[in-house]
């Protein structure tokens, strides 16, 4: 019979131990669908950043009348901030024909007050009749900013950079900037508490809060409206970027991305261009707020089945219909908004 060798058992045990350590490390460091985490990226202010507005003076003289590679002007504009210092400026990207969606937002979460200012961002239209309807709507609500480019998918980056331009020139005193779409629900009572208590009422720097997408493949199929040719974008995957339906910026990030976009070759998918390519170039950091967004299942249970959801949230996802937005608004306005609960569940990622 062969003599048993104790060292062979020890070797097996050691290999098992190393395997367990490796698996544990992989699970902790790279959970499914989540990129490796990094230390806190953003910095919270303890007093107002009074110097930000002065940075506008360092832009080129002709910057206001330029939009990337276009000669530009605002064909409609409202100066909603005036002498106020809003906590949050909300720039809502809206298609010109979406009259009902804008009405729903105005009657629910998008009501202007001293702390929150909402502007609907639209491009120009080819229809005289449609333009007249937009002008009448603007006369009633005074909350439009319209740019001198045609409002199409291929011009999304123009609209996004125009939104950043509006903030820089017409509301640089805002502490935070939210870019969103007109089919999104924002839990405004909780959002205000998030900014005041989990972040800072005085503002912050290096903040880019969104739901990052990692290693997204560039779509080449002619059947996709998001098809991108090799000439437009030669790489196989995009850099980490923020889906454009909800992006919360701090002013310094807006300013940096705006300046870079103004001198960079145009790429038409705005969220990939600004919060992917340019964000990577400027070394800004994404902060993942996915835990603060309702799942579709929970959202529908709240709206259609009066479900009493116990967890905090600040967004209700995209592609919502009017009934869902109004249902969520009725839900959040009958409950007290929570405070100081988000810092431990936000994942900060590079």
Residues of the domain holding 227:
45-293
The answer to the question of residue 124 being in a domain is yes
The answer to the question of residue 203 being in a domain is yes
Please report where in the chains the tokens 């009017």 appear, as a residue: 322
The answer to the question of residue 59 being in a domain is yes
Answer whether 146's CB lies under 8 Å from 79's CB: no
CATH label of the domain that carries residue 162: 3.90.550.10
The answer to the question of residue 316 being in a domain is no
Which DSSP helix (H) or strand (E) runs through 10? helix 6-29
Answer whether 238's CB lies under 8 Å from 218's CB: yes
Residue 114 burial by CB count (10 A; 0-12/13-18/19+): exposed, middle or buried?
exposed
The answer to the question of residue 207 being in a domain is yes
**How many domains does the chain fold into?**
1
Would you state the pLDDT for residue 49?
78
The answer to the question of residue 289 being in a domain is yes
Angle at 249 between CA 244 and CA 253, to 5 degrees: 110
Q: What is the mean pLDDT of each run of 10 residues along the chain (350 residues)?
A: 50 55 39 40 84 74 96 97 95 98 98 95 98 98 98 97 97 97 97 94 95 94 91 96 97 97 97 97 94 95 95 93 98 90 57
The answer to the question of residue 12 being in a domain is no
The answer to the question of residue 190 being in a domain is yes
């Amino acid at each position: 019979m062969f003599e048993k060798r104790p060292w062979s058992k020890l070797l097996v045990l050691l290999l098992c131990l190393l395997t367990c350590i490796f698996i544990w490390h992989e699970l902790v460091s790279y959970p499914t669908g989540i990129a490796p985490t990094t230390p806190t990226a953003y910095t919270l202010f303890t007093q107002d950043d009074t110097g930000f507005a002065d940075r506008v003076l360092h832009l080129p003289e002709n910057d206001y009348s330029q939009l990337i590679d276009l000669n530009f002007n605002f064909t409609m504009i409202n100066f909603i901030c005036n002498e106020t210092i809003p906590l949050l400026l909300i720039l809502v990207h809206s298609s010109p024909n979406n009259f009902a969606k804008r009405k729903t937002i105005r009657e629910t979460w998008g009501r202007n007050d001293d702390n929150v200012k909402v502007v609907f961002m639209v491009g120009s239209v080819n229809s005289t009749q449609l333009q007249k309807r937009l002008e009448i709507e603007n006369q009633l609500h005074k909350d439009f900013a319209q740019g001198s480019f045609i409002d199409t998918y291929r011009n999304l980056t123009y609209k996004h950079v125009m939104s950043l331009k509006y903030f820089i020139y017409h509301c640089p005193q805002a502490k935070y900037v939210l870019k969103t779409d007109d089919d999104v629900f924002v839990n405004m009572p909780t959002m205000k508490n998030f900014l005041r208590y989990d972040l800072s009422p005085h503002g912050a720097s290096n903040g880019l809060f969104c739901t990052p997408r990692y290693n997204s493949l560039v779509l080449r199929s002619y059947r996709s409206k998001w098809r991108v040719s090799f000439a437009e974008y030669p790489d196989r995957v995009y850099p980490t970027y923020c889906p454009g339906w909800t992006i919360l910026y701090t002013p310094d990030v807006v300013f940096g991305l705006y300046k870079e976009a103004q001198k960079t070759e145009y790429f038409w998918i705005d969220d990939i261009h600004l919060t992917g390519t340019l964000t990577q170039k400027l070394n800004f950091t994404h902060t993942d707020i996915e835990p603060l967004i309702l799942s579709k299942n929970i959202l529908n249970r709240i709206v259609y089945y009066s479900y009493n959801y116990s967890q905090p949230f600040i967004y209700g996802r995209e592609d919502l219909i009017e009934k869902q937005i109004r249902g969520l608004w009725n839900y959040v306005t009958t409950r007290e908004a929570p405070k100081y609960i988000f810092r431990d569940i936000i994942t900060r990622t590079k």
